[in-house]
A and B are shown apart, each in its own frame.
Chain A
Amino acid sequence: MHGLINRSIERFLTETYGVAVWRRVADRVGVPGFEAMLSYDDALTDALLSVTGEALNKPLPVVLDDLGGFLVRVEPLRRLLRFGGSDFTDFLFSLTELQDRARMAVPDIGLPSMTVEEIRPGAFHVTVTADQPGWAHVLAGLLRAMADDYGALVLVGEVEAAGQPDATVDQVEVLMLDARYAAGRGFDLAVREAG
């Protein structure tokens, strides 16, 4: 798994639960910390997630969902996501490009591929295809946070994957209740870099 992903989990734990919790998890996994620009074995990420679940006393899907919400609180990431569209529906459809967009910046990042379908007015299915399971949970948390960011009122739920139980194809369902429910957070196309 790419270091950026492991590092995101590290930051999620450090900034949400404190350095002490992160240190405890890191010690049990046997890592000093992650470098965002290096690559790590997939098994290490699996171990990291399962130890995190035990440390927080939460089931893995809940941890992943929280992680998705956290990602939107990382301002550079939020901004990159907001480039996807000028409203939430627009953003939702931009998920089909997310893998390619991410690859433009970090060629080996290895995000899952996604397809978006409007199954009936205001109801969308996002299908996630990945090498590892669990991405749909991250996506669900991320979509909820992004809806808030755009000021849209939505319901996000995970759909049981049809087919084989070991499939890494998952679906997330998004019901758009009110596209302009709240003001949402601001997004200027360009910002001045500090320093």
Chain B
Amino acid sequence: MSTPPDMMPTTESPDRALSDTSQRAADSLDRVMPMHVLVDPSGQITRCGPTMRAVLGGEDPVGKSFWAVFTPSRRMPSTDLAALAEAHAVIYLRVGAAGGTQMRGLAVPACVPATSADGGSMLINLSFGIDLAEAVWRHRLTARDFAPTELAMELLYLQEAKSAVLRELQGLTGRLDEALRDAERQARTDPLTGLANRRAFEQALAEAALAAEAQTDSTPTATAAFAIAHVDLDHFKQVNDTLGHAAGDQVLTRVAQILTESIRRTDLAARVGGDEFVLLLRGGAERPALRDFGNRLIDRLEVPFTVIPEADAAPVRVSISASVGIAFTGVSATIRPDRLLSLSDAALYTAKRRGRGRCVVRAGTAPGSGKTGK
């Protein structure tokens, strides 16, 4: 390698024994390949680029055996440096012992006057692979530690830019997910009362029917049985017509509250029409218990309460009642959800016809055998 006379060394070199020309060649080598290592035929390190020194840390590597300073990766077929250099082989290694920075390099025979040896030396130029950012952090490297021809800075820049973009995208995904959940909740909820709406009720009913069917197929138990209670308010139209919609809304809200308090956590209350509600009662159903439940519900709904028809108006005491039609699956019955629903509808119709404030219970297994309550 010849050195142009006008090329001024910019880094200090530790090679004291070198001639002026060799010194310049060594400086050039440091600039072009700041992470090179020169190894003599015996395998000892004779020279080391400035960034390589920074990566190796404290001790001077010169004079040490190459494989004492680096650990070969398992993917290396051989550690014979002379043979590797002759083959222009790519070498994979770690700095120091296990856990050290991973590096990748190229070994070639060195015909560099910078070495005093007569030839047979190897030049090994090393680089960080995909671990670049980790290595830069670990060894506190700066832009000046890389040759200007290297793309290390671009890679670091890109890595950081991408992770910034990714953070923004994750934020967006999170917000979209939340918006989706909100939309789903709204699509399943009655806005006035906060109860489930018809769509949510139908879905829950279909699921309950499927669960009942599955359990009946294996081991018939009472827990899979369920009931539907259809609740229709009596005298509600009167409140709405005489006191206005604001009062009507207060009545509906109060009814929703009573329904929610009357059922178990596993049950579901839904508002399916203006003054029409349905309850899905899970976990077992027997006629006397259901009749008691319906009657107690009517009692609670009949307790008079006050509404405020409009802002700053005097409170007005109102009393309403309700008719309840209940249909249940029976212990080991499989029944189509729509059949059960129309059965509870029919029960409600019967209750209304027999006078208001009544509860009628029908069993799904034996249509027409329903008995009146209250």
Contacts and interface: CB of A to CB of B under 8 A. Distances in A.
Contacts of A189: 136-137, 141-143, 153, 156
Interface string B160-173: 11111100110110
Nearest to B133: A190
A47 B191 CA distance: 35
Nearest to A187: B142
B319 to A, nearest CB: 45
Interface stretch (A13-21, A99-107, A164-172): A99-107
Contact of A4 (B134, B137, B157, B168): B168
B141 A76 contact: no
Contacts of B142: 86, 189
Interface residues of B, number: 25
Contacts of A35: 172, 175
Contact of B137 (A37, A80, A191): A191
A41 interface: no
A4 B225 CA distance: 56
A83 interface: yes
Contacts of A188: 137, 140
Given A105-B164, A189-B143, A80 B157 contact: yes
Interface in A137-195: 188-193
Contacts of A37: 165, 168-169, 172
A192 B138 CA distance: 10
Contact of A86 (B136, B143, B157, B160): B143
A105 B162 contact: yes
A193 B163 contact: yes
Ranked 10 nearest A-B pairs via Cβ: A105-B161, A190-B137, A190-B136, A36-B168, A83-B157, A190-B133, A76-B164, A189-B136, A86-B143, A37-B172
11 contacts: A35-B172, A37-B169, A76-B160, A80-B157, A86-B142, A189-B137, A190-B134, A190-B141, A190-B156, A191-B137, A192-B137
